[in-house]
Each structure stands twice: as C-alpha cells, then as structure tokens.
Amino acid sequence: MTYRVTPADIESYDRDGAVLLKGVVGPEWLDRVAAAIERDIETPGPFFHSYDTEGKGRFHGNLRIWQTDPDFRAYCFESGLPKLAARFFGASRVNLLYDQLFVKEPGTAQPTRWHNDQPYWPVRGWQVMSFWLALDPTTAENGRLEFVRGSHRWDRWFQPEAFGKTEVNTYDENPDYETMPDIDAARGDYDIVAWDMEPGDVIAFHALAVHGAGGNLRDDVRRRGYTVRYTGDDARFDPRPGTAKALWADGLKEGDRMDCDLYPVVWRGEAASAA
Ligand SMILES: O=C(O)CCC(=O)C(=O)O
C-alpha cells in the first residue's frame, strides 16, 4: 500500500469526520480480502450475524474475523492501514480495535440505520477511527455510505441498536446516551455527504461521525464492505453500558490502555513525524 495521506485529507477528516481516499488498496490486497470474505460467507467465524432482510437478498455481518482468518489478519496488521491511522491521529502508537464485514447481496433493500460507532465500543478517547474498504463499485443504488458532515464534533452519543433483527447484538440502555433523531425524515436539515466508490477506495471516518447506508437495490451487483477500526495514544478501555460485549477484553480494567491480545499494538513510531 503506497497511499500517502495528504494535509488536505487530514483537514477534511478533522473538519468533516469522514474523507474518501481514492485507490488506497491495490489488486493484491483486494484479492486476498475478497477471497477471505468468500471463506467467511462459506464458513463464518464465531461472531457471524446475518441481519434479517425479510426474505429478500442477504446481509452478512461478522466481526473479529482477523482472529480466525490469516488474510484478514494480514490486512489489519500489514497492509499499511495502521500507519495511515497514525497519520490521521498524529499518534505514536496504534492499536487494532477490531474488524467487521458488511456484505449486502443483490436485492438486499435493508438500509444500515443511522448511528455513530463509539457508543457501541468499550473505548474512550478522541483517536478512534475506521477505514471502510469498498470491494465493489458502490453508488447510491447499491448502498453507499452516507455521513452527516461534522457530526463527530457534536459530542452526541446515540444509543446503540441492532442494524436489523439478529439473534446476537443486543445492547444495554445507557442513560447518558440519546435516541438517534429520524435523519431520513428531515434530510434537508442535515449536511449529508456521500461518495461513489471504486474497489480499493477507502473512507476514513471518526468513531463519533454519524453515518448510515442505503440498501442494495441492484439485482446485479453485490456491495461488499470491510471495515477495520483502530485507536491511538489517548484511547482507554471503557466498558460502559450499551457497548458490545463481544468487544470487551478480558483482563483490562476501565481506564487501562488498550494494549492486550484483543487490541494488539499494530504500529509504533514518532508522533511528531506522524502529525
Ligand atoms: O457497510 C455498512 O452498511 C455499514 C458500515 C458501518 O456502519 C461501519 O463500518 O461502521
């Protein structure tokens, strides 16, 4: 991976909470990730969840798949993404938080509800971000991601809910969290940004950025997205109510640095040169 983060990328990320990075992931990594996705669909890892699509299409979800598949692991550790995260954070250390797969097969009309991520995650701190990789050409018709520009700076934490009816992934109520407003009912009130993507493009986004995605309304193309989440220097373990228990690390106490087997350090360097 040879992509170099530009000052303009960092400015957009800081201001808007999300930025499109074109052509980050080359054909070799794309092939490895695509093959790993097919393996996961064939024989899903332990955190597999299929979202209910009311009989139409199929929405395959899974997480922590780096732990069971060597190619997902290699992509999370060795692809160069950790260094990109360090650049966005200006951090001297990057930990892998986890990875997650979102495959909407043709005809999966179910949107991904508006949400922000950090309320789901047992981590506090500002240096928490994701890289969503497109494996297919992705447009408004087959479920591209959408972001509310600048929402990562609202400091609003929205109550997690499952993306669809699933057997796993229920979330405790957190009295400090808010209910997500009905953004689709008042889209004109929000500054919504979205980008068409080509395979290998990546969206880098902040963990508090409010985002969602449309359904895959096409019957001839898939919409495979693979996301990797990283944390930086200021991240601390915080298993507050409402967070996904599947992401809780045994052996860490609230306030600890993230470093452990579940959140391994994947990059170290000079913060000054990264900034
Ligand atoms: O791909 C999707 O539908 C949702 C992705 C998402 O919410 C994420 O990666 O945080």
Note whether 18 and 211 are within 8 A (CB).
Answer: yes
Atom of ligand 1 nearest to the CA of 132: 9
What is the tens place of the pLDDT at every residue in 218-260? 999 999 999 999 999 999 999 999 999 999 999 999 999 999 9
Atom of ligand 1 nearest to the CA of 143: 3
H/E stretch holding 9: helix 7-16
Given ligand 1 and candidates 50, 60, 100, 129, which is best to mutate, with the most ligand atoms within 8 Å of its CB?
A: 100
Ligand 1 center to 63 CA (angstroms): 12
| Alpha carbon separation from 171 to 101, 161, 209, 242, 247 (Å, rounded) | 19, 6, 19, 5, 12
What is the tens place of the pLDDT at every residue in 70-118? 999 999 999 999 999 999 999 999 999 999 999 999 999 999 999 999 9
* Averaged confidence pLDDT in the chain: 94
Confidence of residue 49 (pLDDT cuts 50, 70, 90): confident
Q: Is 99 in the pocket of ligand 1 (CB under 6 A)?
A: no
Q: What angle do CA 110, 221, 98 make, to 5 degrees?
A: 60
Q: What homologous superfamily does CATH list for 34-257?
A: q2cbj1_9rhob like domain (2.60.120.620)
What string of H, E and C letters represents the secondary structure of 14-42? HHHCEEEECCCCCHHHHHHHHHHHHHHHH
Atom of ligand 1 nearest to the CA of 100: 9
Ligand 1 center to 79 CA (angstroms): 20
Measure the CA–CA gap between 135 and 198, rounded to whole angstroms: 8
Atom of ligand 1 nearest to the CA of 115: 7
pTM for the model stands at 0.96
